[in-house]
Amino acid sequence: MVTSAQFGDGVAYVAGQYVPIAQASIPITDWGFLRSDATYDVVTVWDGAFFRIDAHLERFLKSCNRWRLNPGLSPAQITRVLSRCVRLSGLRSAYVEMICTRGQPPWGSRDPRQAVNRFYAFAVPYVWLANEQQRASGLHLMISDVQRIPARSVDPKAKNYHWNDLTMGLFGALDAGADTVVLVDGAGHVVEGPGFNVFCVKDGAVATPDAGMLEGITRRTVIEMARTLGIALQERPVTEQELRTADEVFLSTSGGGVLPVTRVDGQAIGNGTPGAVTGRLVDTYWAWHADPGYTLPVDYGP
């Protein structure tokens, strides 16, 4: 018998059942495991409400369509599953993931059209990409020489688990004493890091890469916030040197929102402390979490 205490660390939806996160599993023969043949999306809950869940559901279903996956549920049904995961966990701040895997075709078949796709979901305590100290003083970002998988090979606009390039880049950054990493494309432009988009600020104007990366929902939020605040922002190629010589650098991610970067490749950015533009965006990002236009309260009732 599952007790409420067992749900405290998180809840997963597996094969139509809600189970404690520690008991969640998928079949070892699922192509989602064997081939990273899956898509996913992550929406957060803050102060008991989903933030921009409609945008995340829209992107999840677009990713499913891009990879020819069918979760077998409507947006409303997915919302109910995610909400119940959060409700059962009792979490007021949560990291909530929805996943669709290829499943398994009949034995001996390599035809992905014969596989039965599977939908999974889980809710765990809110995940921060940066710890409290890093959020206050800024992250140390390393620009890797690892090239991101070309978009012609794996479309980065559709979320996927093809992360070996990101993982190898992260190993290099951590081994060198940095906190995280951003990868480059074939032309030497910075593109994205493991789970985040990157921005730089020069003379009060913001720039962010426009190709070769996932168009994150938090990235979209930053662009919308900049427009609201009257901050100039361009989506365009960003060079390594531009990032190293910026006045400010920050990251955007569902795992913490807007996160300041104060060192790139060991060198201080600006005066070595989080900048004013970054600070305005951080404050606005969390203020928008209280805006009913962006939130959907979780029903924690019985």
In CATH, 4-125 is 3.30.470.10: yes
Strand order in the sheet with 38-46: 17-20, 11-14, 118-125, 94-101, 38-46, 49-51, 295-297
**Structure confidence at residue 185 (pLDDT):** 96
Return d(Cα 183, Cα 119) in angstroms, integer: 30
Residues 6+ apart with CB under 8 A from 117: 69, 70, 71, 72, 100, 101, 102, 103
- List the chain domain ranges: 4-125, 132-288
Return d(Cα 11, Cα 300) in angstroms, integer: 14
Q: Using the structure block, give the residue that is written with the tokens 């049904």.
A: 77
Return d(Cα 96, Cα 98) in angstroms, integer: 7
**Structure confidence at residue 2 (pLDDT):** 56
A 10 A CB-CB count for 258 gives: 25
Confidence of residue 1 (pLDDT cuts 50, 70, 90): very low
pLDDT at 3 over 80: no
**Structure confidence at residue 6 (pLDDT):** 83
Instruction: Identify the burial level of 227 via C-beta atoms within 10 angstroms of its C-beta, where 0-12 means exposed, 13-18 middle and 19 or more buried.
Output: exposed
Return d(Cα 68, Cα 31) in angstroms, integer: 13
Give the pairing of strands 257-264 and 139-147: parallel
According to CATH, the topology of domain 132-288 is: D-amino Acid Aminotransferase; Chain A, domain 2 (3.20.10)
Task: Confirm whether 4-125 and 132-288 share one CATH topology.
Answer: no
**Structure confidence at residue 262 (pLDDT):** 98
DSSP assigned state of 253: E
**Structure confidence at residue 14 (pLDDT):** 98
Please give the helix or strand (H or E) that residue 65 lies within, else none.
Answer: helix 53-66
**Average pLDDT of every residue of the chain:** 96
Tens of pLDDT along 44-101?
A: 999 999 999 999 999 999 999 999 999 999 999 999 999 999 999 999 999 999 999 9
Residues 6+ apart with CB under 8 A from 284: 225, 228, 229
Q: Using the structure block, give the residue that is written with the tokens 């995280």.
A: 180
Tens of pLDDT along 4-29?
A: 678 989 999 999 999 999 999 999 99
pLDDT at 269 over 90: yes
Q: Using the structure block, give the residue that is written with the tokens 């609201």.
A: 228
Structure tokens given for 88? 């059962």
Tens of pLDDT along 132-190?
A: 999 999 999 999 999 999 999 999 999 999 999 999 999 999 999 999 999 999 999 99
Q: Are the CB atoms for 257 and 282 separated by under 8 Å? A: yes
